[in-house]
Amino acid sequence: MIIGLKGRVEHNEMGNIALEVGGVIYGIQVSLLSSLDLKVGEEVRFFITEIIREDAYLLFGFLQKAEQKIFERLIKINGVGPKVAMAILSTYSPSVFASIVEQKNISAIQKVPGIGAKGASKIMVDLAGFFDFSCTQENGYQKAKDEAILALEGLGFKKNEIQNALKGIENEDVAVLIKSALKNLQNI
């Protein structure tokens, strides 16, 4: 059983990573949010969830333990497979998703590709009480970054543009992040 892999990113194709570990290259599926943070040639460590089926052997990689916990809980829900769980984690960071579930915001879950009203309601019911402080704990910068991304998306910017604009800016103040990102977005 593989529980983690540490190696160098050989290839990054939005959502699919080729990771070279000791001369062996693994194909790992990751969320789009994680994929945006990875560069070819970069050393990285993934928490791994294996899914073994009759016709496939799949590796799912997570940069944060909280992201892995959410994925593993989501795929236990009847009707939610790895593809839908990854779509959720590609749309929302763990802290934002936890807030959505805690606020019972069904419409936000319905924005995820592949999830309708019935599926969103089922996810909401099954995740009731799942999130606690230890599962969603992130540093202040990550929470501020998530809020800044949501605010900038509300202004019409694309997520990948925002991610690029926020690279290299580390501040826990949401206003500072937004202001700096807007300056960077003007220069693009």
Nearest to 131 by CA among 94, 89, 98, 93: 98
Give me the architecture of the 140-186 domain, per CATH. Answer: Orthogonal Bundle (1.10)
Q: Domain residues of the chain, as ranges?
A: 4-62, 65-136, 140-186
Per-residue pLDDT of the chain (188 residues; tens, 9 = 90+): 899 999 999 999 989 999 999 999 999 999 998 998 899 999 999 999 999 999 999 999 999 898 999 999 999 999 899 999 999 999 998 888 888 888 888 999 999 998 998 999 999 888 887 776 444 445 567 777 888 888 888 888 888 888 888 887 877 788 888 888 888 888 76
CATH superfamily to which 4-62 belongs: Nucleic acid-binding proteins (2.40.50.140)
- Structure pTM? 0.69
For 25, the token pair is: 């290259």
8 Å CB contact between 124 and 103: no
- Give the Cα separation of 106 and 145 in Å (integer): 23
pLDDT of residue 188: 64
Q: Smallest Cα–Cα separation from 48: which of 57, 61, 36, 39? A: 61
CATH class for domain 65-136? mainly alpha
pLDDT value for 136 = 45
Q: Coil, strand, or helix at residue 3? A: coil
The CA-based angle 154-184-112, given to 5 degrees, is: 30
